[in-house]
Homo-oligomer: A and B are copies of this chain.
């Protein structure tokens, strides 16, 4: 049924705040944009069939293919439950087996899919990913990397919360995982990697970052050294590395600030007749700027360190954002990023150092 040259992705169709209303159109859009993809929609088969059918009336090439004129590029895989966004870890492991997220990972573990995507509970993804795919040799826990817009494009920021306390060796692993991903997925020949710290100078920071700094200097990476928070947005690096506690605070605080600024900006432009007229005139330029800040334009956070490709989509993501996350998964799976990470970790002898 599947074209052997295609990449097959399993999509947790119920993951994310809006469920099928977003996941099905996003899957179809991704199939339109990447002709080498096939998508397995994992979820309630009745609901999925109805939503696919409704979507097909408006569009799409992918669905027409599924309907018979070519090898089917979209199909349905049944699951009978959904993991709640606030599910406790114990509940995930005890009662999560039949869920759409679990079944999506199962397809990857069984070799029936090359990667999976979910907009569901992040902690549950970590747990299920570790349980079903396992970790790469020498890596303790998956790291989550987000793409944050910078003045040129975006910066990969990791870790974002899975690893609250880290060793120097773990920070070095994050650097390698981020660099390999940027190279393979974005085609950056020699990605610039920076280690977040409270200053640029060698002696700054606590013992762990200073040790990691020395380790990174010795690796054949394009390591630019210590960076500070503003470097994430200045476009100084492609990959910014820190522990999960600081990374999570940085990501969420910058998301909060961006939301506040865009809100204030829209309020300012709607304030009176003159500002509304101004907004109308400046509209196209402003929309281009807002498009660059749109979280959807950077959605799709890889879980790195797993022995397989898994992409976390933001729970509140819209169709455009989830489409991007699916395309990201397709690129990672096509380049087999997890295998390349494993070989770099081995080559750089970072397996034992964490």
Contacts and interface: CB of A to CB of B under 8 A. Distances in A.
Given A206-B245, A232-B253, A254-B257, A292 B264 contact: yes
Given A161-B198, A264-B289, A288-B268, A252 B279 contact: no
Interface in A143-173: 150-151, 161, 164-165
A275 B269 contact: no
Contact of A278 (B165, B253, B272, B280): B280
A285 B268 contact: yes
A229 B205 contact: no
A267 interface: yes
A258 B201 CA distance: 24
A256 B282 contact: no
Nearest to A165: B206
Interface in A264-298: 264-265, 267-269, 271-272, 274-275, 277-286, 288-289, 292-293
Given A164-B198, A229-B248, A286 B261 contact: no
A249 B250 contact: yes
Nearest to A247: B249
A234 B252 CA distance: 11
A279 B198 CA distance: 37
Contact of A164 (B201, B206, B254, B261): B206
B267 A289 contact: yes
Nearest to A265: B289
A150 B260 contact: yes
B277 A256 contact: no
Contact of A259 (B230, B250, B251, B275): B230
Given A234-B256, A278-B279, 8 more contacts: A165-B206, A198-B249, A229-B251, A229-B254, A246-B249, A268-B286, A274-B284, A275-B284
Identify the 8 closest CB pairs spanning chains A and B, nearest first. Answer: A230-B256, A229-B252, A278-B282, A229-B253, A278-B281, A233-B256, A278-B278, A275-B282
